[in-house]
Amino acid sequence: MQIFDYQPPAVPWLDIRYKDRDLIIINKPSGLLSNPGRAAHTFDCALTRLQALYPETILVHRLDCATSGIMVFARNKKAESHLKTQFQDRQSKKVYIAEVMGHVLQDQGIIDLAIVPDTEHPPYQKTLQAGETGGKSALTHYRVLERRENSTLVELSPETGRTHQLR
């Protein structure tokens, strides 16, 4: 469990990659929340930064704070509805690159484990242990890109979109 002092990156303040009348696409840096948390010190996030420039901005999906990558925001209700439907119907393809400790033995495969809230460490999730029942399906396809000295670079393609699925 990583505990860190939250300090969102200030540079770049916003890395806007595309903008039109319906949507805004940014490259979110690691360390920046997607949307504000409950605590006052978590107000600074991708959404509030965008809303300072474009007040109509609507959050469509999230990336974990530690995850960097492309995020799409809507600029009106019609665009929000269309974008959220595309995510719900799995029409969008999500691909993540991660470096994991140790060596992944198989060149590719599927991780199919149910996850549940980690009651000892909210708001995190955990995989079900042997003998436990319930949880939500979390299905991820993986492919090894490179084996390094003490780690493996993998491409992850989640089929489901569970909170903390790729941790």
Last residue of a domain, one of 88, 107, 142: 88
Choice among 15, 44, 64, 118 that is catalytic: 64
In a domain, 139, yes or no: yes
Q: How many alpha carbons lie under 13 Å from residue 70 in its C-beta half-sphere?
A: 13
Q: Are residues 20 and 84 in the same domain?
A: yes
Q: Are residues 73 and 123 in the same domain?
A: no
Structural domain tally of the chain?
2
In a domain, 109, yes or no: yes
> For residue range 85-135, what is the model confidence (pLDDT) as tens digits?
998 898 988 999 999 999 999 999 999 989 998 889 888 889 987 788 888
15 is catalytic: no
Bridge-based pairing of strands 125-127 and 108-117 is antiparallel
Q: Are residues 107 and 83 in the same domain?
A: no
Q: Model pTM?
A: 0.81
* Domain of residue 60, CATH code: 3.30.2350.10
- In which band, very low, low, confident or very high, does the pLDDT at 40 lie, cut at 50, 70 and 90? confident
Answer whether 100's CB lies under 8 Å from 144's CB: no
The average confidence (pLDDT) of the chain is 91
| Structural domain for 120, as ranges | 96-158
